[in-house]
Structure formats: C-alpha cells, structure tokens
C-alpha cells in the first residue's frame, strides 16, 4: 500500500468520498489508467478539491492561444524553480506526451533558457518564472517582451493565471509532501510500444 | 468612472455577465455596500471567477480552528511580503473589522513579528510567510513550531492552504494591476458612528 | 501608560531631559498636538538625539528640487522595503498630509510601481529602493534614469541622502522596536473636519 | 590633483568653507597628517556635514562597553557586506591601528566568522552584519546571543547604532563614489619605523 | 550530426586529439557504449581536460566512506540548485544505476529533503547544497550535523570537495551550454532487458 | 608553529609527502620565498593536490588574450563576492605585483565597479562575478557585452574557466578554513626596496 506515504494527511478511501468526487476520480482513472495522487490527496478536503480542479480545468482545458504543451511548459518551469517534486514529475510526464518529446520536461524543469524550445516559448517562460518567484518585480517591459513575440493580452492572462494557479498548487504539494505516482516517472520517455 | 483603471484588462458591465456571477456581485454589494474590485476584475473570465470564489469561500468561510481574524492575518501578512496592494488594502480592512483593531492591519502587513498579536499568532504568520516566499525551504521544525503552539494538523492545513490560495491571488492582482476600491482604505479605522 | 512599550529601552521623562531636547519636544508637541515616539525613544541618548534630528532637518527642511511630499515618498517607500513599522506609519501620515491624498502612503509603502504618482516620481523611488536594499548594485544607468526625468545632480544627492538617513533610522527603529503613536495611524486619512 | 575623482560631486576648497567646518578639517589634518576624503567630500553640504560628524563622534568617541577597536570592527564588517570601498579601507586602517594587528581588517572585511577575534566579538559582528543587511529579520534570539556573551543592553544599542550609522555612511559613499585617500591603504600594515 | 549543438565552442574530432585524450575517450566509449559530451566538449582545451578528469577521478573513484551512489547524490543535488542541465541529466543517470532506483535522481535534483533517502543522506545533501550556493555561510553547526550522523572528517572532506568540484563543473557546463547525450535521459529508468 | 591553524585538517610534513609534491613545494618556495598555505593544506590529499595545481597552471600560466594581472583580477573579484579570505589575500598580493598597483586588490575585492581599472576590465569582472554567484542567470547579452569590448571566444572561455576553477578553490578554502600566510598581507603594498 503506497497511500500512507503520498501525503502527510489522511488519504480518503474512494468509497467514502462524495459521489461527484468519486466519479471525477473514476473518470480520470479510466482515461489515464491510474488515479494521480493530486486527486487522492486533495480529496481530504472535498470543497477545496472541487474548486481546485474547477480552476485547473478552466485554465488548462479552455481554448487558448497557447497550445496544451505550452501550458504544461509553464507548469513544469515554474514548479522547477519552486522545487515542487509532484508537479515537476506529474506535469513533466504530461508535457512529454503533449510535446511528443522525451527530453523536454527535464530541460524545462532544470533550466528553461537552454531548452530545445522556441525563442517565443523561452520568453513565455521568462515571464512565468519571474511572476512565480518575485511577483512584485514585474515591469512594463516584461509584458512588452511577450507582445513582441506575438502574444495577445488574453495569452498573457493565460500565462500569468497558470503561473498563479501553480503557485497555489506547488505550495499545497509542499505543505502536504505530496508524492508523485510511480507511473509518471517513465510516462512519455519511451515509445508507446515498449509500455505494453 | 473608475473602472478603466482598476485592471489592465476590460472590466465587464454587470448587465453582460452570466446570471450567477451577477447575483454573486449583487449579494456582496448588498452586504458590503459596494462591489470589491476583485469581483469586477476577475469576472473577465467567468469560469476562473467561479473557481476563485468557490476556493476562497471553502477556505475562509469553513468551520476552522482559526478565527476569521486569524485567517485574514495570514492574508495580510503574506500579501505584505508579496507587495500586493489590492490584498493588503482590501483584506487589511476586513482584518481591522474582524479584529476590532484599527492598527492591526498596518502592523501585520509591514512587520508581523512586532505586531500586537499573540505569540501563537506570530508563529502562525512565521509559517505562512515562509511558505509564501520560499515553499521549498519548509522543514519539520516549521511544522513542530505550530504544534508547540497548539495548532492541530487541520489548522496547519488551513494556514498553508490560505497561504497557497493568496499566492495565487497576489499573482493575479499583480498580473492585472488590480486596484483596491476607495472604500477599503478607511474601513475599520474609524468608529462606526463616523461612517454614517 | 503607553511609554513602557514604545521602545525596548527606557524612555526618559520630559523633566529629566536636557533643556534643549525638552524644548525640541515641546515645540513639536505644540505643532503636532503630540510628541512622536521617535523623539521620546531616541532621547535615551541625548548626543545621538541631537545629531539625528539635525541630520533629519538638514535633509527634510532644506530648499530642494524635491517637494516635501516627494521627500516623504522616499521615506515611506524605503521604509516599506525595510519593513519598518514606525517609519511607514509615521511618515505615511506626513506623506498623506503633504500630498493631500489619503491613499498614497499605503500605495507607496506596499508597491510604489503601481502607486498613483508620476513616472518621474516612480523613477525617483526605483533609485531610492535600490540604494536602500542593495547599495553595491547601483550603476551609471540608475543615475541616468533620474537625469532623463529631469532630476539635477543636487536632486540626486537629496534622493540618495534621504534614503541613506532612513537606512539609519529604520535600523534604529528595528533595534529598539520603536512603536508608532496611535495618532499617526489615522492622520491624513479623513477630512480635517472630522478630526475636530 | 586628486580632488576631481574622490567624489562624483564638487569638492569644496578649504578656503571657501564655513569656519567651523574648516577648523574641523584642520584639526583632523593636524592629528592624522592628512584630511580623510569623507571630510572633504561631505563638506559639499555643510549642514549635513555637521550632523554627520556629530553623529559619528557621539557613537565612536563616547564611553562604551565596547573598545574602540571593537567599534571599528563593526564598521569594517558591515561595510564589507555592503561592499563600501571607502569605509573598508579607511576604517580598516583605523582598526589595524587600534587593534595593533596588521591582518585584522582584511579578515573582518572579507569573512568575520574566521577572523582572529574572540567568540564574543564574532557574536557582536553576527548581530551587526544581520542588522546591516536584513534589519527586518532580527529576532529575540539575536539579542539573546549578545547577552549570553555578556553584552549589556547599552552595549547592544552601541552595536546597533554604529551599524545603523554606517548603513547611512556606506550609502553616501556609494552615492557619491567616495574614494579613500592613498594614505589609508598602508596605514597600520607596517611597523611605524618604516613609515618614516 | 549533433556535435554542432552540444557546446558553444568547437568540438574536436577524435582523430585530431592528443593520443592520451583519444584513448581516454575510447575507453569510456568501450565501457558506456557512447562518449559522454563532457569529454567531447572539454577536449577543446586538452590541458584543462586532463586536469578536470584527473580531479574527477581522484574524488569519485577513490576509496571513501561515502558509497558511489552517495557521491552521485551530491552531484545531482548541487547541480539541481545550480540549474545545470548536463550534470543533472548525466549524473542523474549514473545515480539511478548505482542506487538501482529509477526515481531517485528526479527526487534529489528537484527537492532532496523529501527524497526517498536516509536521514543521514539528507544531512549530507543539506551540507552540500549550502556549500554549493552560499559557501560563506557555513558554520560550525553545519559540520556538527554531519558528525552527529556518523560522518568522519575525511567523509566531510569528500562531501565538500565533490561539491566544490561540481561548482566548477556546473559553471563550465553553463559557460559553454553543454548538452547532455540523448542516452542519459533514459538510462537507469527502465529494466536492463528493455535496453537490449 | 602556525601549521595547526592553517587548516581544519592535518597538514602533512614535507618529508612525508610524495616526491613530486615535495618538489613542487620546494620549487614554489625557491621562487616565492615561502610555501603558500594552499600547497601545504591541500597536500593532505595528494591526488587532488596534483589535479588542483595542474588545473590552476593550465588556466593561469597559458598563453591567453588576458594578461596575468587580468586573470588575477578575476580571482580576486570572484573570491571577494564569495567572501574567501585565503584567495582574496593571497591572490590580492599576486594581483598587486602583476599590476604594479598597491591599491588595486582592495578595490577589486571590495567593489570592482569603482576600481581604477578599464571599462573593458569592469565588463570582464561583471561577467565573472555573475557566473560565480548565479551561473544559471547568464544570458546571451552577458556574452555580447564581452564581445563588444573586444574579447574573443577563447578569452571568454578563459574568463569563465578561471571563475569556475576558483568557485572550486573558494569552496575548498571555506571547507577547511584555509588561512593565508602572513607574507601575503603586505606583498606588493610597499616598494620592493623596503622588503629587503
């Protein structure tokens, strides 16, 4: 049983959860093949769980000028500078899959300026990492750098809001010492055929 | 009209908002006498608005081992170290009212260690401020310091989760340059009789 | 009696002070209606008291290219980044009065880049805040930014010297845990008529 | 002529100075054999000059539980972490002379924890350096560490006030790019006989 | 051809290298199946190459109280806080193999305090990470913490010297933008059978 | 006997050392008149000693676009920001001699931006100091600033590699609390005639 160690707090049994939360978990299990620990651990507080995932989905599933891989890059880069193991590993896996690139997550999590991504994406991550660590230091030129790369005002909101949401998420993961599922470490690193 | 300057982003007209959001605003206006700008400015993105306030209410309105004043102290102290004007001013007002203390918000926002609060509350804010700025630096002794002051594990979750939520909120406020309403600056500073 | 708590050090009785210092206090009391705690607490060391206020007056009362409100902005902004409660509250009050603006002190103390001040004043505060926290990092371009906004060399001395003096003042206030007088918290926040 | 480069600001001629300031300079020249540049450069502003040296003398010449060498150690250590060339070189010279130790200034300026000084003096400098760089971070245990080494409350005021005064002094030196006199670099490094 | 991008500097052809360096490379290729880019890129300067690997081997191959896995943990943890992609990825691979643990490198590189390692190993990494980032801040209690976990003085030299060597190595990798070989990203993550 | 205190670790007797290391020491003694403590203290680990000095000589003795004085400036400036007493004092002495300037080491160690060196040399030290403290923060514009001052790509390698080597050296000196020889403190400060 791994459950005891995935959080400093009690991890509820699926059977004891409110139906909507249990259904959310079963749906993600159906799709991913397992239940990511962020679902299991945050379910300790159902109301916060519902708001957390509603917020996540509002940002990560919406139509956006940013691709899904770009949004995950923001998560991985800001979680990297926040030293958040859960988010680096879990969202690193998702980033590898969306970007179809087995090396990109390690690159972005460790040092995005030299990652194999576009200059536009590097500018996006410069903005995100600065907002993540020193929000009071943002200046007009930080916004202008994004506009110079063709980002719209709505794109900038997306970049900033994803950064803000994972500022919350990283702190929750640190607070409860959330552990990533074993599955995430290898996901997207090897060709699908080898996973079978 | 102040609306143009309360956010870098368009501020929607009440009439153009989804009904549930408009009703939320009318309810807060009924209660507070005005609509705090965090409602007006975040309504630019209705789905994110709904998740934001659901999360806020889950943390700030729940039954908790922390008083409402203590929860607002966490908001004010962490927003202070994040240099977030909106949250310092708006939640400073709420803190003054809950604590019935016209000086406490300025004290907590500027330098909580010398504020006129209990040693237990100072320990709570030490934990919150550290998690707010350097989440990766939390150690077992930070948790133990809270337990030594009688905080339960659920109280610690509350302290950490409120800090995490306002890590998000402070970054959104910086991102869009959210301005506090005029009303907040003076609220709770003068005896109620003078407000009439 | 509030005196016991306004400093970690003994606060002398007016009657026991050297005559020049007592007269200084009576003069400020005559003008302000009360004796600010910085006078009472620093009188513990009369020679240092005399030098402190001579220095203060040399900078803050001289003819200068900076208005008195601008000089107080420097005090409030640098005291804000130094988390000095006494100076933020006491000089915040003075700033509100000189600027005839009840919100400006909270804005400048919390995050001057988004305060309702001119671009020229923001440049002045950028210089001051940088000198306050990392004096070794000043470069030629920091000076040039001030000149580009029309500041003279003598204005730059004023900006730097006020910052330097309050680097001293903030450290003294932290050292002795100087508390602001109750009067300062509300000064300049409400129309004069209400103060009567 | 070296005068042009000892400050970014005009350096007044002795003849053009107010008599009291000229007399101060002649007295120090009589004693030291030269006029330290801090006198020449700050004389650009006579009122500030007078307050500066009155403050300096009040702290550095008073009867104190700290020896004169210990007071200079505080100046050198805090000026070291502030990267202030004038104060490190000029007060380093004075420290070498008071301590009759040709190596102590380089040790204290570069890394006081391994300097050849007592544990008590290291504690004194730990407190001073922390107050110099992060005044907001001082805690009760910082004060207690001094008391544990036998420092009185008045000694602690001296340590803190000297640190505070040189926080001002270092910033003035950075502001005007004050250069140390050639004489200071070698003073106290060689036996007096060789200076002849 | 990948060579152009593995360094900002020219990467020499094997045939053009001094014989001893070529032999070193052929030996490592024989053993590892490929030539790690640190060999190819640093060969641009043969004398520095020889000293670099002599130093590396003196530390990493010597008999030591630290296991080889522990020594690699030091490399990975300090390279993590230095954001050095080459060292995190290449030494992360070696760490996974020595520790026979496919998750340990991601844990140690991202946030060693919550890695699945012993308390003794965490203390070792606390010391290393502090020396890596703020060498001037080491105190007697940092050494004592290692002794309390049973580390000998020679073990402490090993911990410190490995940290020091990779302080050099990380800076060289940043300087020339050294890229890790593709092989390292997956090494030690999947059971050996799948590598065939 | 000074040996006991020049390192936290045992300092070997010359007679007990391997012949090549003893010969290295005798050669430096012949040339300098004494054996610098970095030789005596690092000889505790002969293999590391050999690699250390091979690396040092490869960088500091090679033909280079940088003068020997410039290379020592890099050592002194980066050791200054790393607060490394041994390297500041020992390499400060060497810098004074190479530059034939008795003040340059104190200037460069304390605050290189205002040292009496060329703008080109200041740019060189800006790059070195940034790489020394925050290697992850280097950007393309840092390299371009060097090219704009006429530095070649090989010069940039030299600047970076010397910085990297002394990142190692500074950490070794902190680790073992290496003390500088008495001789270094005065070397290069007085005209040669007086040294006789």
Flag whether F touches D (3+ CB pairs, 8 A cutoff).
yes
Give D166-193 pLDDT, tens digit per residue: 999 999 999 999 999 999 999 999 876 5
* Helix residue ranges per DSSP H, B10-67: 19-32, 37-42, 46-60
Q: Taking Cα atoms as reference points, which of C143, C167, C164 lies closest to residue C155?
A: C143
Q: Taking Cα atoms as reference points, which of E39, E10, E46 lies closest to residue E24?
A: E39
**Six-digit token string for C185:** 């918290």
* Helix residue ranges per DSSP H, B17-152: 19-32, 37-42, 46-60, 68-81, 85-99, 104-111, 119-133, 140-148
ipTM, 2 dp: 0.95
Q: Please name the chains neighbouring F, where neighbouring means 3+ C-beta pairs under 8 angstroms.
A: D, E
Place of tokens 């059971």: E191
What is the C-alpha separation between E184 and E188, in angstroms, rounded? 8
D131 within 8 A of C175, measured Cβ to Cβ: yes
**Six-digit token string for C161:** 């010297």
Decide: residue E30, CB within 10 A, 0-12 exposed, 13-18 middle, 19+ buried: exposed
Statement: residue C160 has pLDDT above 50: yes
pLDDT over 70, % of chain A: 95
SS3 (DSSP) at A18? coil
Nearest to F111 among D83, D189, D190 (CB): D83
pTM equals: 0.96
**Which residues, including other chains, have CB under 8 Å from residue F180's CB and lie 6 or more apart?**
F37, F85, F86, F89, F90
pLDDT of residue D31: 95
Q: Taking Cα atoms as reference points, which of D120, D129, D75, D81 lies closest to residue D98?
A: D75
pLDDT of residue F3: 39
Statement: residue D118 has pLDDT above 80: yes
Interface test with B, best of A171, A177, A178 (most B CBs within 10 A): A171
Instruction: Please check whether residue E183 touches A, CB under 8 A.
Output: no
Secondary structure E strands in A51-150:
none
Chain D residues within 8 A of F80 when measuring between CB atoms: 110
Q: Taking Cα atoms as reference points, which of D121, D160, D163 lies closest to residue D143?
A: D160
B110 within 8 A of C80, measured Cβ to Cβ: yes
Chain A residues within 8 A of E83 when measuring between CB atoms: 110-111
Nearest chain C residue to B179 by CA: give it.
C114
pLDDT of residue D1: 35
pLDDT over 90, % of chain F: 94
**Which residues, including other chains, have CB under 8 Å from residue B8's CB and lie 6 or more apart?**
A153, B175, B176, B177
pLDDT of residue D192: 62
pLDDT of residue D5: 85
Place of tokens 């460790």: A110
**Six-digit token string for A192:** 């699908």
pLDDT over 90, % of chain D: 94
Nearest chain E residue to A187 by CA: give it.
E189
Instruction: Please check whether residue B178 touches A, CB under 8 A.
Output: no
Residue F5's pLDDT band (cuts 50, 70, 90): confident
pLDDT over 70, % of chain C: 95
Give E1-12 pLDDT, tens digit per residue: 343 489 999 999
Instruction: Please check whether residue E109 touches A, CB under 8 A.
Output: yes
Give pLDDT tens digits along chain E (196 positions). Answer: 343 489 999 999 999 999 999 999 999 999 999 999 999 999 999 999 999 999 999 999 999 999 999 999 999 999 999 999 999 999 999 999 999 999 999 999 999 999 999 999 999 999 999 999 999 999 999 999 999 999 999 999 999 999 999 999 999 999 999 999 999 999 999 876 544 4
A41 within 8 A of A49, measured Cβ to Cβ: no
Number of helices and strands in chain C (H, E)? 11, 0
Q: How far is D58 from chain C (nearest CA, A)?
A: 6
F65 within 8 A of F156, measured Cβ to Cβ: no
pLDDT of residue B1: 35
Q: Taking Cα atoms as reference points, which of C96, C97, C151 lies closest to residue C120?
A: C151
Place of tokens 């991008």: E5
Instruction: Please check whether residue C114 touches B, CB under 8 A.
Output: yes
**Which residues, including other chains, have CB under 8 Å from residue C151's CB and lie 6 or more apart?**
C65, C120, C123, C124, C159
Q: Taking Cα atoms as reference points, which of E115, E23, E22 lies closest to residue E72?
A: E115
What is the C-alpha separation between D189 and E13, in angstroms, rounded? 54
**Six-digit token string for E180:** 């890790």
**Which residues, including other chains, have CB under 8 Å from residue A159's CB and lie 6 or more apart?**
A66, A74, A124, A127, A128, A146, A151
CA distances for E188 relative to E78, E115, E193, F18, angstroms: 20, 17, 11, 40
* Helix residue ranges per DSSP H, chain F: 19-32, 37-42, 46-60, 68-81, 85-99, 104-111, 119-133, 140-148, 153-176, 182-186, 192-195
Mean pLDDT of D55-72: 97
Residue F192's pLDDT band (cuts 50, 70, 90): low
What is the C-alpha separation between D24 and D136, in angstroms, rounded? 36
Nearest to B171 among A59, A164, A175 (CB): A164
Helix C85-99, helix B104-111: angle, nearest 10: 120
Give A25-81 pLDDT, tens digit per residue: 999 999 999 999 999 999 999 999 999 999 999 999 999 999 999 999 999 999 999
Instruction: Please check whether residue D130 touches C, CB under 8 A.
Output: no
CA A153 to the chain's CA centroid: 22
What is the C-alpha separation between B42 and B168, in angstroms, rounded? 13
CA A178 to the chain's CA centroid: 14
Q: How far is B110 from chain C (nearest CA, A)?
A: 5
In eight-state DSSP terms, residue D175 is H
Residue F196's pLDDT band (cuts 50, 70, 90): very low
Nearest to D163 among C8, C47, C171 (CB): C171
Helix C153-176, helix C119-133: angle, nearest 10: 50
Kindly determine whether residue C106 and residue B114, on different chains, have CB atoms separated by under 8 Å. Answer: no
Give C70-102 pLDDT, tens digit per residue: 999 999 999 999 999 999 999 999 999 999 999
CA distances for D91 relative to D2, D25, D102, D183, F53, angstroms: 20, 18, 13, 12, 36
For residue C90, give the H/E element and its range. Answer: helix C85-99
pLDDT of residue E5: 85
Interface test with F, best of E78, E127, E135, E159 (most F CBs within 10 A): E135
pLDDT of residue E193: 55
Statement: residue C196 has pLDDT above 60: no
**Six-digit token string for C44:** 């513990």
Kindly determine whether residue F131 and residue E170, on different chains, have CB atoms separated by under 8 Å. Answer: no
| Overall residue count recorded for chain A in this entry | 196
Give B15-73 pLDDT, tens digit per residue: 999 999 999 999 999 999 999 999 999 999 999 999 999 999 999 999 999 999 999 99
Nearest chain C residue to D174 by CA: give it.
C135
Which residues 37-66 in chain D show a CB within 8 A of chain C?
Answer: 44-45, 47-48, 50-52, 54-55, 58-59, 62
Kindly determine whether residue E164 and residue F172, on different chains, have CB atoms separated by under 8 Å. Answer: yes
pLDDT of residue F195: 45
What is the C-alpha separation between E113 and E126, in angstroms, rounded? 8
Average pLDDT, chain C: 95
SS3 (DSSP) at C189? coil
pLDDT of residue B163: 98
pLDDT of residue A44: 98
What is the C-alpha separation between E88 and E78, in angstroms, rounded? 9
What is the C-alpha separation between A30 and A35, in angstroms, rounded? 9
C24 within 8 A of C191, measured Cβ to Cβ: no
Mean pLDDT of A89-98: 98
Chain A residues within 8 A of B168 when measuring between CB atoms: 164-165, 167-168
Chain B residues within 8 A of A54 when measuring between CB atoms: 47, 50-51, 54
Kindly determine whether residue E185 and residue A110, on different chains, have CB atoms separated by under 8 Å. Answer: no
Place of tokens 């020997």: F68
pLDDT of residue A192: 62
More confident residue, F180 or A3: F180
What is the C-alpha separation between D26 and D34, in angstroms, rounded? 9
Chain B residues within 8 A of A175 when measuring between CB atoms: 131, 135, 138, 156-157, 160-161, 164
CA C13 to the chain's CA centroid: 24
SS3 (DSSP) at F115? coil
Mean pLDDT of D67-89: 98
Kindly determine whether residue E161 and residue F172, on different chains, have CB atoms separated by under 8 Å. Answer: yes
Statement: residue C4 has pLDDT above 70: no
Statement: residue C195 has pLDDT above 60: no
CA distances for C157 relative to C38, C97, C121, D3, D86, angstroms: 25, 25, 15, 18, 18
| Overall residue count recorded for chain C in this entry | 196
Place of tokens 């003085």: E153
How many Cβ atoms are within 10 Å of E66's Cβ, its own excluded? 21
| Overall residue count recorded for chain F in this entry | 196
Q: Taking Cα atoms as reference points, which of C139, C143, C124 lies closest to residue C64?
A: C124
Chain A residues within 8 A of E189 when measuring between CB atoms: 185-186, 189
Average pLDDT, chain A: 95
Residue C5's pLDDT band (cuts 50, 70, 90): confident
Statement: residue F193 has pLDDT above 70: no
Backbone angles phi, psi at F68, to 5 degrees: -65, -35
Average pLDDT, chain F: 95
Interface test with F, best of D110, D171, D179 (most F CBs within 10 A): D110
Q: Taking Cα atoms as reference points, which of B40, B44, B84, B76 lies closest to residue B60?
A: B76
Q: How many CA atoms lie within 13 A of B51 on its CB side?
A: 19
A154 within 8 A of B175, measured Cβ to Cβ: no
Q: Taking Cα atoms as reference points, which of F109, F108, F116, F90 lies closest to residue F187?
A: F90
Per DSSP, the residues of E58-121 read HHHSS--SS-HHHHHHHHHHHHHHTT-HHHHHHHHHHHHHHHT-SSHHHHHHHHGGGSSS-HHH
CA distances for D23 relative to A145, D18, D43, angstroms: 57, 9, 12
Statement: residue B3 has pLDDT above 50: no
CB pairs under 8 A between A and B: 117
What is the C-alpha separation between A142 and A146, in angstroms, rounded? 7
Instruction: Please check whether residue E169 touches F, CB under 8 A.
Output: yes
**Six-digit token string for F128:** 């070195």
Chain A residues within 8 A of B52 when measuring between CB atoms: 55
SS3 letters across D51-83: HHHHHHHHHHCCCCCCCHHHHHHHHHHHHHHCC
């Amino acid at each position: 049983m791994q459950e005891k160690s995935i959080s400093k707090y009690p991890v509820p049994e699926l059977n004891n959860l409110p139906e909507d939360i249990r259904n959310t978990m079963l749906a993600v299990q159906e799709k991913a093949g397992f239940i990511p620990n962020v679902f299991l651990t945050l379910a300790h507080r159902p109301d916060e769980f519902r708001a957390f995932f509603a917020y996540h989905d509002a940002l990560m599933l919406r139509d956006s000028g940013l691709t899904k891989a770009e949004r995950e890059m923001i998560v991985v880069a800001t979680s990297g500078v926040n030293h958040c193991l859960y988010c680096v590993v879990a969202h690193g896996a998702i980033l590898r899959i969306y970007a179809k690139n087995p090396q990109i997550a390690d690159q972005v999590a460790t040092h995005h300026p030299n990652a194999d991504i576009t200059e536009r994406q590097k500018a996006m991550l410069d903005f995100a990492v600065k907002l993540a660590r020193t929000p009071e230091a943002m200046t007009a030129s930080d916004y202008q750098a994004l506009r110079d790369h063709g980002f719209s005002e709505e794109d900038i909101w997306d970049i900033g809001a994803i950064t803000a949401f994972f500022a919350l998420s990283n702190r929750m993961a640190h607070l409860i010492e959330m552990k990533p599922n074993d599955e995430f470490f290898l996901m997207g690193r090897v060709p699908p055929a080898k996973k079978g």
